[in-house]
Amino acid sequence: MEDKPYVIGLDLGGTNSVFGIVDAEANVIASTTIRTAGQDDINVYIENCCKALAPLIEKVGGIRNIKGMGIGAPNGNFYTGNIELAPNLPWKGIVPLSKLFSERLGIPVVVTNDANAAAIGEMTYGVAKGMKNFIMLTLGTGVGSGVVVNGELVYGSDGFAGELGHVIVDTSPEARLCGCGRRGCLEAYCSATGVARTAREFLSKRADDSELRRIPLDEITSKDVSIAAEHGDRLACDIYAFTGHLLGRSCANFTTFCSPEAYVFFGGLTKAGHLLMDPIKEAYDANVLNIYKGKAKLLISQLDDAKAAVLGAAALAWKI
């Protein structure tokens, strides 16, 4: 019997659920999207997913040609297959996601969190191909991470390892409050929302002109900062310098754990290119312990944003 030639990847986000049927060469053969938001009943959600998937599965010759399904989801637990206490998803408590999909589709289903899926995607198809030790940092609405050691994703004792967005990077009492309820987390500074907060802080504290002043203070997004920085706006560039500096300094600390071959940055903020990467590199070199100096590569993911999460989830399914 031939090996089954396809897998299903699901990038399960708070707003949308994006499905792709993927072959072994990382081609997305078919894809579809349904809304996640508002689907408060998990059983109805699963039903809707399977309905949306049905024509895609038919297109590749039926479920017998599909090896399995990989899901990247916030607070997805690789060990249990559950989503546990995800603050941005409609379902509260513990949801046995892999069990529900597996029973409905009749194929094996694995779950991991979205940043871990991105790391697996990067290792399978991206700039981390062939690397045995690297750290993936996803700079989106929050800061996610996937840590790869000895060629394997680090899940830890409970399946929840790799939450570097919640390392405390500012220990001062006036450090920013994070969504997790603690102060000074990396995510409170170096996510898209963190960048918008930095913009509001800088605009309030500083007196110099900036095109960002044309936008109402509480409406500024990281996208606005990015556009202004592209125009050479000084204040906007300083926001990236601040963000990159903090990221570089934090990565210097992370290196003491696992001395990775590379850091791979992914997500909206990396669109700023050298405006973000130059201060990251500068702060990393200035802060890393002597024995590690000049060793780790600092890379931007080259995977297409729209596809990367689905490909990462799909890559997980190939390992079933």
- Interface stretch with a second copy, choices 17-25, 208-216, 254-262, 309-317 (CB under 8 A): 254-262
Find the binder of a second copy among 35, 59, 64, 132 (CB under 8 A): 132
Angle at which helix 234-258 crosses helix 222-230, to 10 degrees, equals 110
Q: Is 58 strand, coil or helix? A: helix
Q: Does 216 bind a second copy (CB under 8 A)?
A: no
Find the binder of a second copy among 20, 76, 162, 312 (CB under 8 A): 162
Distances (CA, A) of 48 to 51, 185, 228, 244: 5, 37, 41, 41
Q: Is 204 strand, coil or helix? A: helix
Least distance to a second copy, CB of residue 102, Å: 24
Q: Does 298 bind a second copy (CB under 8 A)?
A: no
Q: Does 204 bind a second copy (CB under 8 A)?
A: no
Find the binder of a second copy among 10, 241, 249, 272 (CB under 8 A): 249
Q: Does 217 bind a second copy (CB under 8 A)?
A: no
Instruction: List the structure tokens of 188.
Output: 């409170």
Q: Does 239 bind a second copy (CB under 8 A)?
A: no
Least distance to a second copy, CB of residue 152, Å: 6
Sheet of 109-112: strand order equals 28-35, 16-23, 6-12, 66-72, 109-112
Burial class (CB in 10 A: 0-12, 13-18, 19+), 13: buried
Least distance to a second copy, CB of residue 54, Å: 35
Quote the distance between the C-alpha of residue 148 and its chain's center.
14
CB atoms within 10 A of CB 48: 16
Q: Does 85 bind a second copy (CB under 8 A)?
A: yes
Instruction: List the structure tokens of 262.
Output: 């590379």
Residue 31 contacts residue 18 (beta carbons within 8 Å): yes
Q: Which residue has the tokens 């990393």?
A: 284
Task: Please give the residues from 25 up to 84 whose contact with a second copy meets the rule CB under 8 A.
Answer: 75, 84
Q: Does 294 bind a second copy (CB under 8 A)?
A: no
194/260 with CB nearer a second copy: 260
Instruction: List the structure tokens of 66.
Output: 């599909």
Least distance to a second copy, CB of residue 111, Å: 15
145/226 with CB nearer a second copy: 145
- Total chain residues near a second copy (CB under 8 A): 47
**Nearest-angstrom CA–CA distance, 143 and 24:** 29
160/318 with CB nearer a second copy: 160
Q: Which residues bind a second copy (CB under 8 A)?
A: 75, 84-85, 132-133, 147, 149-150, 152, 154-164, 166-172, 180-182, 249, 252-254, 256-261, 287, 289-292, 295-296
